[in-house]
Structure 1
Amino acid sequence: MFGWSQVWPHQLRRAFDLIVFDWDGTAVADRDTRSPGLAEALEKLLSRDAICCVITGTKLQNIDAQILDSLSPAAKERLFLFTNRGSEVYSFGGDGKIGILSRRVATEEENRALDDTARAVKEYLARFGLEAEIVSDRLNRRKIDVIPVARWRDPRKSEFGELLHDVQARLGEAGVPEGLNGVVQETWRQAERSGLSDPRITSDIKHIEVGLTDKSDSIRWIREHIIGQRGIPVHQSVFIGDEFGTVGGFMGSDALMRSPELKDAVYASVGVEPEGAPEKVLHIGGGPKRFLDFLIFQGQLRTPREHRRTRLAGELLRLSADPAWLLKQEGFDPSREREVETLFSLGNGVLGARGSAELTLPAAQSDLFIAGVYSKKSAMIPYSELEFSASEGRDDPYSEMVPFPSPFRVGIRVDGDDISFESTRVRNHERVLDFRKGLLFQTFTFEDRNGRRTRLQSVRCISVADPHLMLHEIEVVCENHSGRVELELAPEILDPELRYPHLTPLPIEKPSMFSQMRVYDTGSPSHVCVATRAFSDAGPILNAFVSTELKAGEPLRVRRFISVFCKRPPDELVLQARRHLFGKSWRRFDRDLDVHESRWETFWSRCDLRFKEDPSLTQAQRFNSYHLRISADHNPETSVTAKALTGRAYEGHIFWDTEIFLLPFFNRVQPDIARNLLTYRYNTLGGARRRARGMGCAGACFAWESTVTGDDVTPRSITIAGTGQAVPIFTGEQQIHVTGDVAFGLWQYWELTRDRDFMIRFGAEILFETARFWSTRARQGSDGRLHILKVVGPDEYHSGVNDNAFTNWMARFNLEKAAETAEWMQAEHPLQWGELIERLRIERDEPAGWRSAARSLFIQMPGKDGVIEQFEGFFRLKDVHLQQEERNKAPVSRLFKWQEINGMKVIKQADVLMIPFLFPSAFSREIVRANYEYYERVTDHGSSLSPSVHSAIAALVGDREASFKYWEQSLFLDLRNTMHNTGLGIHIACIGGAWQALTLHALGGRVVHGEVSLNDIHPRRAA
């Protein structure tokens, strides 16, 4: 037993990761008392990796004098101080020095309003003949002392009952209406008159206090920056105070520690609580002594650091047991490194890092990508294929995604000799990606010319629980020798101007807690900070080098927390990184991994597909679903790029891929992400409107290739390496079906979710503005019909065509759904409808015009043979017989002959077939079969998008053999490097298309997650 405490309530009988407590009356009896026992208990608790937060209305100096000088620097790292009634937040670096994380400072106007309020309340009391004193030396607040007498100069909390009696008697005898409550109400009135927009008014009985902050601000900071960013489960948090209940009818000050978002936390009071503790607050009583007992108890529940096992490679490798959860590479082939880097990429939708080796390899593309960070085009970076370069002359400051050097790189020296791919031999190598847990493991064994073998093992992840966090653990072992091992955590980059042409490191001093930090100017308004905090099992590492003597078989282990922030001024980025990495520790690494893995577990519970007859299909599908998850997150300012965050190709541009090939997955598995992907389109309406105006049209036309502003960044031409031949690119001006594609994706989300808030706030405006575009882009022909001229369809080999079947179909769909939405809003949400049409200046009869335009729009219909002409004149083009070896290749050779190809009956990918792909019930099976048989033979599948569409259409017409063949092609396209360009980045839209072809077409929507029988999709394969 400890102290005088009895058995704790069951809610308190576990080790809490976060302990938040009030100071005066809870931790200490008063501000003059020092408590050696409290310091000792906190030292033990903090050294065992609990996080403690002190919340107080007093200033920092009072806490400093009572306890801070008794704590070690290592313990202080996990201590946060919230002082001056919610106005300040402090924490400590590895050297024990205190630093401020946040401070609210009143403006001149706010200070004037606080003074005016306090004076007005003092004058109010004077009218009753009562003297009051104003206490002004407090940050962001004023206190009005309503009983400034010697007896009550500094009352203890244990005396509050007597104090309340004397205050009420004093006010009552003077005739103050409603006593103390009346003074509080008067303070509210005076605060409003003084112009305080959000005053915080409380009373500790002796004082009425008016301020700008209170304990709720401290709790909000804890919720966002400690619980949220560190992934601490709310139920693992305990909040302790001594005034949760009311006193004399006034809310206790600790009641502000409670919030609806933290309802699963545990709350306990050690106070007297004379009027009882509120519901769901444990009243354990006993004051500061009882609180001290609780801290001692918590310290006993936690394991000392020296008794813990590390979990890295040799001991606790946490690979999933089922091999279908794993992608493995055994043996090292430098010629395949870029391809392998793509496959083994990590990410969370905000950050993405290629799965490269830790040691520098000249042929590698060891990049980090940050969603939404773009700059001007650099001639150093190819456009899509390595043979293609785009002009540098585009003026858009956001035309190219910025690659950054991978923060997972390290350097190793043994007795002064570099371990490298050039100077040593790779004896053994294994790289393993665990889809289930989002972890990448690597093992390299190097042998130098003297026969010394050194093993490097690592595990890394990009957290899906914390969008700014990456974790990296490294183990170095001298297998057959002893010596001095040096580990460099930030090795120099080879040819940085060539590899990372956008980046200029800024000369900003590194805070002492970081082992490494870089702040980059990207050549655009976006600055980026990449900071690392590192630990060995001996303690914090405060620079970028670790040097130690190792015996044979003895490991050197390092754990790194890597923080990435962007789009703020440099000083703010550094402060964000400091806040983010405060409190990290050796043991915290395990906690952050656990939270990351639990998020992956939730994801897989929604979408895992298992093929009981063929584990290789299960593995491939899991690989694909894994890459879908790491391609997107919850930021509505960004969307999924053509290669997600795994490669540089297509300059990080955003295409129609998202709405047509990716949204079906997110709509059903993670609709919250789907909403944000669509909100990105709303946020880029400005660029879409500019594009429409540039075409002489009204409304909004979405960019064929988009980044953060929505302006079109498609290159006007590309140059083919080796020949110098310039090839014009027409898609930026003519591939306008993307506008209808966005409307289609939006409508699919609406039909599945009925998210009224999204439709009213974002969706309706997108539909209305895009309908306006189509109604002005179409031209009336001599036949009285509306026609859409000079476009490029999904095929892309044919430019300047008229009435592309798919484009016109999507335009009609867009117009119809805009009119339908207008009718819905008028009937269901007339107020919002009125506001929207006023803001957009929509005429009352305009929606009827959209419906009329939809009826008048020319639609290519099936001919006598059932085939729909892809565009006007397609049937008259020159016939071409495609050889098998011409299929499934990136279309480099086609681009050489773009003018000739424009006159040939050969297409790059599904075009007409996109209509039954998106609208399976639009035509009879016979019509769909006729079009499939006609267009399949003239398609060279030069796009990775094509096989999945053909799989879906083959399933619609009952050709299971062809459906499975094309589905398997799309399923394994990257794993088998079918198009020989996986090294440029993952084919994310192909992955989404494969999922769609299987679940929505071959399986008819019957299975989104669970077990799949091959008998349902390919009976002969099942047999």
Structure 2
Amino acid sequence: MNQDYIQANEWSVIEEGFDAERVKSSESLFSIGNGAMGQRANFEEAYSGGTFQGSYIAGVYYPDKTRVGWWKNGYPEYFAKVLNAPNWIGIQVLVNGTELDLATCKKVSGFRRELNMKEGWYKRSYDAVLANDAQVEVLVTRFLSLALDEVGAISFEISLKNTGGEITFLPYLDSGITNEDSNWDDKFWNTTNVSSSGNRAFIEAHTLKTNFKTCTFMQASLDYKGVSVPGNLDISKDTFVSLRFSQKAEKGEKLTLTKFGGYTVSRNHPEDALVDAANEVLDVASSLGFENLLKKQKEAWAGIWEMSDITIQGDVKAQQGIRFNIFQLNQTYLGTDSRLNIGPKGFTGEKYGGSTYWDTEAYCIPFYMATKDEMVARKLLKYRYNHLEKAIENAEKLGFTNGAALYPMVTMNGEECHNEWEITFEEIHRNGAIAFAIYNYYRYTGDYSYIPEMGLEVLIGIARFWHQRANFSTFRNKYVILGVTGPNEYENNVNNNWYTNYLAQWCIHFTLEQLTKVKEGYPEDYKRIMGKTKLTPTEYDAWKKVADSMYFPYSEKHGVYLQQDGFLDKDLVKVSDLEKTERPINQKWSWDRILRSPYIKQADVLQGFYFFEDHFTTEELEKHFDFYEPFTVHESSLSPCVHSIQAAKLGRMEQAYTFYLRTSRLDLDDYNKEVEEGLHITSMAGTWMSIVEGFGGMRVVNDTLSFEPRIPKQWDAYSFKVNFRNRIIKVEVASNELTFELNGDNGISILVRGEAYELLPNTPLKVN
């Protein structure tokens, strides 16, 4: 049974009623972020019940020493941890001397949370009866500013309902925090200075080992009946500082504590000027005030939604799902800093560690290419170019030579920091996703300049890796790739994973094509790259020999490519024949049993058919879909989206819709029973793809944008926008009519169901 307490609403995530069992899940679901920092929806006031505290600063991490039972050569030395940062949201509240704590209140009623996705704010309200019988009414509003991305703002309103009395606010900063997922219970932070000045306070701290210097700051003010109430320093100690505001309040009269807080970081400021930088940004925030800063927040989100919104008519849950996904993607990454990337949990939890997986290239880049300026996607590609030397070092640690590059499975700074051997050593298909993203970026944007400037060097490193990783089998008279893990992580250490072998072949051929193209069209870049990489014709002839003679396992009986050599040796029992009590298998079965089973965690062969759709016929896709999907348990967040896209292409709209709902509401409905650990951010880009590429059928065909729109029967209509080569195209799909609109100065040719149309600026094109 999936959770069902989140109310269906087109623009908001809403929870009504307080349930301590749901607190951790809601802390994930109501998380907020602004690309530079983020936080789980922890209560500002004290809460002694179960909670998962989490505040995070983009790009700040700790190299937690790897913990394994048996060390193997080549293992990464550490697992990069997304760090729980010093807490700035805390506000202790005392009512007639008794602490406000929902876990100890005699009664809590009218509890409501709302995450307003349209305007980018989070509100919480409730009535409570404290242990001393004081009855209070509380309303808290919080947001992380897009206009001032180092600042968050809180408005905490409280009034006494049954009597007058004294209310005391103790807004605080606390750097005595820990990570839930520490390997060795290491101390991650070292606090160097705690200070205050008037109604402001600061904690200076740095991460151990990585030495990121930070200043966590706050400013607080209290208003009662329109008059400012003075405050003063309450306590200052090694890792903690608080201010104190006290006021006798009449029954029914509201007190409002406004708190600005956040972080200044040495990534963006001189190390010795972090407090100065904090004071400067606080000056700006306080001069604007809470309401004006909130107004700017609403304006900024309106701008984001103007381009990225997808509308769905007639299905509120589907509408809420896609907006939740788009909202969280924009909270996580806005493309303003090429040093950053999209972590699988974003700012909502600590699981997985690292900031970058192959998810970025395979799933996220299409979303950012189409909903923002192409330079945002280019920054994601530049991120990988900037890490090329580290990728070469990673390969060297495993015994590869001559500039072969193996990009990490998980990374913060280009170094591999994943510590499961079957992933670290064997899930090498991630290299291919990076090469595919370079191709995909050029195919979509038409911007070839990235390849001669940066991309070709990346491709050469990857091609060198595939050349060395393959070996010639005299038995098969072909090149094979042994001991790998494909996208299906429920098979480890297999031989000739079809997807991996196909990617390797394609990467080499694509690299060879680009070498010719750059040589002919960009001779200066070609000369520079050849000098830097020492590449010779003899070497790339050897690459070509590997690619041209790559082995692909195939079943004549079934007429399909085999996921790996031994797939047909398995006991091929379909998922539909499993007892429901056996699901999910990753929580019910031993790992040994999973590895021997035919069950597929996420698209594997079908991932290859997704990437290289134009290499295969629709009939071939159908045959492979019908063979592999029945064995797929979809226990990866990245699985339903690819299957939704392919089911839509095959005209299986009911199945496509079911997969869409699963990917779009994966966290809202907690399909995998793990949402309390954080959200699945990167798979949310796959949700966007499910609509635009799945139902909308958007592709680039022969350099032309093409659409094959379909609509689920559950929907009356839907619409989306894409930025294709600096032209904004809006697509509206109803059951009996398609409408295309172009916002731009120049017309563009598009294909609709294979037929060419000329789309003119500001002139709607209707197609029946």
TM-score (norm 1): 0.62
Give 2:411's aligned residue.
Answer: 707
User: Which digits, 9 at most, give the CA deviation of each residue in 1:699-756, with x for residues without a partner?
Assistant: 344445322222221123xxxxxxxxxxxx4111000000001111122112222334
Give 1:404's aligned residue.
Answer: 85
SS at match of 2:454: helix
1:102-121 equivalent positions in 2, closer than 5 A: none
1:889 to 584, 595, 612: 584
> Cα gap change, 1:992/1:863 in structure 2, threshold over 3 Å: closer, same or farther?
farther
Structure with a larger share of its residues in strand = 2
Give 1:526's aligned residue.
Answer: 212
Give the Cα separation in 2 of the matches to 1:394 and 1:418. 49
User: Which digits, 9 at most, give the CA deviation of each residue in 1:742-783, with x for residues without a partner?
Assistant: 111122112222334433332222112111111221112224
2:377 paired with 1:674:
yes
Give 2:163's aligned residue.
Answer: 481
Give the Cα separation in 2 of the matches to 1:758 and 1:488. 52
- Contact 1:377/1:394 (CA < 8 Å) preserved in 2? no
2:359 paired with 1:665:
no
User: Which digits, 9 at most, give the CA deviation of each residue in 1:233-259, with x for residues without a partner?
Assistant: xxxxxxxxxxxxxxxxxxxxxxxxxxx
1:207-356 equivalent positions in 2, closer than 5 A: 323-356=9-42
1:3-402 equivalent positions in 2, closer than 5 A: 323-361=9-47, 362-377=49-64, 396=77, 399-402=80-83
- Contact 2:79/2:418 (CA < 8 Å) preserved in 1? no
> Cα gap change, 1:576/1:841 in structure 2, threshold over 3 Å: closer, same or farther?
farther
Q: Quick one: which amino acid aligns to residue 692 of structure 2?
A: T
2:682 to 980, 989, 993: 989
2:317 paired with 1:616:
yes
Give the Cα separation in 2 of the matches to 1:495 and 1:624. 29
1:645 to 344, 347, 351: 347
Give the Cα separation in 2 of the matches to 1:989 and 1:397. 23
| Matched residues, number | 675
> Cα gap change, 1:437/1:574 in structure 2, threshold over 3 Å: closer, same or farther?
same
1:423-434 equivalent positions in 2, closer than 5 A: 423-424=104-105, 425-434=107-116
Worse-matched range after superposition: 994-1003 or 582-591: 582-591
Give 1:636's aligned residue.
Answer: 338
Give the Cα separation in 2 of the matches to 1:823 and 1:1011. 37
1:560-959 equivalent positions in 2, closer than 5 A: 560-567=259-266, 571-585=272-286, 587-633=288-334, 634-670=336-372, 671-698=374-401, 699-716=403-420, 729-782=421-474, 783-844=476-537, 846-860=539-553, 863=556, 865-882=558-575, 883=578, 885=580, 889=584, 891-894=586-589, 896-898=590-592, 900-959=593-652
SS at match of 1:475: strand
- Contact 2:62/2:207 (CA < 8 Å) preserved in 1? yes
Give the Cα separation in 2 of the matches to 1:791 and 1:397. 22
- Contact 2:192/2:205 (CA < 8 Å) preserved in 1? no
Identity of aligned residues (%): 26
Give the Cα separation in 2 of the matches to 1:339 and 1:826. 54
- Contact 2:32/2:144 (CA < 8 Å) preserved in 1? yes
1:515 to 200, 205, 210: 200
SS at match of 1:582: helix
- Contact 2:141/2:155 (CA < 8 Å) preserved in 1? yes
- Contact 1:435/1:623 (CA < 8 Å) preserved in 2? yes
Structure with a larger share of its residues in helix = 1
CA apart distance, 1:559: 2.3
- Contact 1:368/1:406 (CA < 8 Å) preserved in 2? yes
CA apart distance, 1:449: 3.8
SS at match of 1:585: helix
Give 1:1008's aligned residue.
Answer: 720
User: Which digits, 9 at most, give the CA deviation of each residue in 1:82-122, with x for residues without a partner?
Assistant: xxxxxxxxxxxxxxxxxxxxxxxxxxxxxxxxxxxxxxxxx
Give the Cα separation in 1 of the matches to 2:582 and 2:43. 33
CA apart distance, 1:845: 5.3
SS at match of 1:399: strand
> Cα gap change, 1:835/1:492 in structure 2, threshold over 3 Å: closer, same or farther?
closer
User: Which digits, 9 at most, give the CA deviation of each residue in 1:585-610, with x for residues without a partner?
Assistant: 26433333233322211111112111
> Cα gap change, 1:422/1:963 in structure 2, threshold over 3 Å: closer, same or farther?
closer
> Cα gap change, 1:658/1:492 in structure 2, threshold over 3 Å: closer, same or farther?
closer
Give the Cα separation in 1 of the matches to 2:78 and 2:638. 29
User: Which digits, 9 at most, give the CA deviation of each residue in 1:413-464, with x for residues without a partner?
Assistant: 0121111123323222111001111111111322124432112212111122
CA apart distance, 1:897: 3.3
> Cα gap change, 1:676/1:422 in structure 2, threshold over 3 Å: closer, same or farther?
same
> Cα gap change, 1:847/1:575 in structure 2, threshold over 3 Å: closer, same or farther?
farther
RMSD (Å), alpha carbons: 3.0
SS at match of 2:380: helix
- Contact 2:341/2:355 (CA < 8 Å) preserved in 1? no
Give 1:549's aligned residue.
Answer: 248
Long gaps (5+) in structure 2: 1-7, 234-242, 699-706, 708-718, 722-729, 738-768
Q: Quick one: which amino acid aligns to residue 40 of structure 2?
A: R
SS at match of 1:937: helix
- Contact 2:364/2:685 (CA < 8 Å) preserved in 1? yes
TM-score (norm 2): 0.82
> Cα gap change, 1:493/1:849 in structure 2, threshold over 3 Å: closer, same or farther?
closer
> Cα gap change, 1:631/1:886 in structure 2, threshold over 3 Å: closer, same or farther?
farther
SS at match of 1:506: strand
> Cα gap change, 1:491/1:508 in structure 2, threshold over 3 Å: closer, same or farther?
closer
